[in-house]
Amino acid sequence: MIDLPQSGRGLEGYSLLAAQVEALLADERDLIANAAQFAAFLFYELDGLSWAGFYFNRDEQLLLGPFQGRVACVRIPFGRGVCGTAAATRQTQRVEDVHAFAGHIACDSASNSELVVPLEKHGRLLGVLDLDSPRHARFSLEDQQGIEALVAIFLRLTDC
């Protein structure tokens, strides 16, 4: 059996996605509008996702923001689960098997892998972007780098 890559996107794919995000967010700088657009864009353009969305930093807690997918946890303390760890450490969390991640918060039992990118602007933590997948190890290092580049475009084109 041929072992196909799970994401199906190379760096070339992320260059195209980057150009699309630039165009999508070019005419608006509002945080809520751009976060909603960006979450919808990722959810429909990346394959194999069950959830894509934002949590915003509200006094050292993460508060649910615009997203696509099933209903989710509303508040997550810094340090808890994958999202809270990304917020507390300000490091991207790429988790191949969420069930093996200590403290993982199972909002959706169908989720098996997760990528959480912290959102930092001018040294401030705005929140995190959370992507969930029912596939094991859905996110490669290449996906991480591509999605971090998309997040950088989102932050540059958004007032926050």
Output the smallest distance, CB 44 to ligand SME, in A. Answer: 17
Ranked by CB distance to ligand SME, the top (closest) residue is 81
Handedness of CA 109, 138, 37, 125 (dihedral sign): positive
Output the smallest distance, CB 101 to ligand SME, in A. Answer: 7
Between 20 and 144, CB nearer to ligand SME: 144
Between 98 and 153, CB nearer to ligand SME: 98
Positions that interact with ligand SME (CB under 6 A) = 51, 72-73, 76, 81-84, 104-105, 107-108, 111, 114, 130, 132
Output the smallest distance, CB 4 to ligand SME, in A. Answer: 26
Between 29 and 99, CB nearer to ligand SME: 99
Between 1 and 109, CB nearer to ligand SME: 109
